[in-house]
């Protein structure tokens, strides 16, 4: 099997789905797996998701991007935000996954270190990967963090990037559970935590795998 580049959309605490999806794609050591961020919040097992991502770092070429929810969690860990602010943004489920006390102290250093090494973007000769959106006129190095992490594409889809590469994004949940394909941009956040699917896409072949929150393959 030739090495593949496989992107995975927003996981949001759905650890059973992530484990099932890894089985479904038959992950190989030379596969590049690009996870698009938003590992935490909303779903119930953020701790389990990050544990599994740490394990995947030794099983394949894992490229983990940071999402806005992961950035807010780091903000709380670093005391740039209050825990109350994080909880109001969905952090309660994440903190509960670490322990009854809902305390930052329960988050292992290995998990905060993982979040700190997540990247804002990744590119191959044909594709680039960001959590949320991009400015078509700027190089990847010149993008604003706010665009990469927070900008939705529901009301406005960015045009083709000046690199000519195809964008692979998450963040804007597709409520119908279907991959959104605008040709120059593909969104694979298919709303797993809220009744949709967790999606993996082999970006070269366009093969798609989807599992639901309980791990059932579509
Ligand atoms: Mn997001």
Supply the pTM of this predicted model. 0.97
CA of 1 to the centre of ligand 1 (A): 32
**Start-to-end CA span in the chain (Å):** 23
pLDDT on residue 2 = 78
pLDDT on residue 1 = 66
CA of 156 to the centre of ligand 1 (A): 16
Number of domains in the chain: 1
Q: How far apart are CA 105 and CA 54, in angstroms?
A: 19
In a domain, 119, yes or no: yes
CA of 144 to the centre of ligand 1 (A): 15
pLDDT on residue 36 = 98
In a domain, 216, yes or no: no
Q: How far apart are CA 39 and CA 64, in angstroms?
A: 10
CA of 71 to the centre of ligand 1 (A): 10
Give alpha helix (H) positions in 26-158: 46-56, 68-77, 83-86, 92-98, 109-116, 145-150
CB 161 within 8 A of CB 152: no
CATH code, domain carrying 85 = 3.60.21.10
- pLDDT beneath 50, residues of the chain: none
CA of 177 to the centre of ligand 1 (A): 16
pLDDT on residue 14 = 98
Pairing of strands 185-187, 5-8: unpaired
In a domain, 33, yes or no: yes
In a domain, 118, yes or no: yes
In a domain, 20, yes or no: yes
In a domain, 218, yes or no: no
Range of the domain at 161: 5-211
pLDDT digits (tens, 9 = 90+) for 170-196: 999 999 999 999 999 999 999 999 999
CA of 38 to the centre of ligand 1 (A): 5
In a domain, 217, yes or no: no
In a domain, 168, yes or no: yes
CA of 131 to the centre of ligand 1 (A): 7
Dig out the tokens for 102 from the structure. 């809902």
């Amino acid at each position: 099997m030739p090495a593949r580049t496989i992107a995975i959309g927003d996981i949001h605490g759905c650890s059973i789905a992530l484990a099932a999806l890894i089985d479904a794609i038959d992950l190989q050591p030379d596969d590049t797996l690009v996870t698009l961020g938003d590992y935490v919040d909303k779903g119930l097992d953020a701790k389990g998701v990050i544990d599994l991502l740490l394990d995947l770092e030794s099983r394949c070429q894992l490229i983990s991007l940071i999402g806005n929810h992961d950035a807010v969690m780091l903000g709380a860990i670093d005391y740039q935000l209050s825990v109350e602010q994080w909880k109001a943004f969905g952090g309660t489920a994440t903190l509960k996954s670490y322990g009854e006390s809902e305390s930052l102290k329960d988050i292992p250093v290995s998990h905060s270190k993982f979040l700190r090494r997540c990247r804002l973007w990744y590119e191959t000769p044909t594709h680039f990967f960001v959590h949320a959106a991009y400015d078509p006129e700027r190089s990847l190095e010149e993008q604003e963090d706010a665009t990469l992490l927070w900008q939705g594409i529901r009301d406005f889809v960015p045009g083709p990037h000046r690199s000519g590469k195809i964008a692979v994004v998450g963040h804007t949940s597709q409520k119908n559970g279907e991959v959104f394909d605008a040709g120059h941009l593909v969104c694979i956040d298919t709303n797993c935590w809220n009744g949709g699917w967790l999606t993996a896409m082999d970006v070269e072949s366009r093969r798609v795998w989807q599992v639901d929150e309980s791990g059932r393959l579509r």
